[in-house]
């Protein structure tokens, strides 16, 4: 239920952003799809939860370590996000999209 509610709210927010930008700039915008990040999900499961669970035998410990890891990734991503405009001055946007191809 929590993931479903998160996806609903996230998609509504991104849709509203697209509508506001369309009205403000007078051209069509498409909302960024909001969903679960499968690559990071697999990285968390196999690189964080899996070793912790099999070394401790406690799924709750593995769960708590995964929560902490996700929190720290969020903090780091937020901090690094401030450098995005600087990166765009030196790296073409097409080069940044290459990993998603």
Give pLDDT, residue 36: 76
Q: Do residue 44 and residue 66 come from a single domain?
A: yes
Task: Report CA-CA distances (Å) from 10 to 24, 38, 42, 83.
Answer: 21, 16, 21, 24
More confident call, 82 vs 33: 82
Neighbouring CB atoms inside 10 A of 11's CB total: 15
Q: Do residue 45 and residue 82 come from a single domain?
A: yes
Determine, yes or no, domain membership for 100.
no
**Could you give the CA distance from residue 67 to residue 44 in angstroms, rounded to a whole number?**
10
pLDDT at 101 over 60: no
Give pLDDT, residue 1: 66
Domain of residue 66: give its range.
37-91
Number of domains into which the chain is organized: 2
For 27-64, the pLDDT digits (tens) are 998 877 777 777 788 888 899 999 999 999 999 999 99
**Could you give the CA distance from residue 97 to residue 101 in angstroms, rounded to a whole number?**
7
Give pLDDT, residue 51: 96
Q: What is the mean pLDDT of the chain?
A: 88
Q: Do residue 30 and residue 72 come from a single domain?
A: no
| Range 61-85 average pLDDT | 93
Q: Do residue 32 and residue 47 come from a single domain?
A: no
Determine, yes or no, domain membership for 96.
no
Q: Do residue 75 and residue 54 come from a single domain?
A: yes
């Amino acid at each position: 239920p929590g993931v479903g509610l998160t996806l609903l709210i996230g998609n509504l927010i991104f849709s509203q952003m697209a509508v506001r930008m369309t009205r403000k700039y007078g051209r069509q915008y498409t909302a960024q799809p909001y969903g679960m990040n499968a690559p990071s999900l697999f990285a968390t499961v196999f690189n964080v939860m899996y070793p912790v669970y099999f070394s401790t035998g406690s799924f709750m410990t593995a769960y708590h370590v995964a929560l902490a890891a996700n929190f720290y990734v969020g903090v780091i991503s937020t901090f690094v996000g401030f450098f995005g405009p600087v990166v765009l001055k030196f790296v073409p946007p097409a080069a940044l999209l290459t990993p998603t191809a």
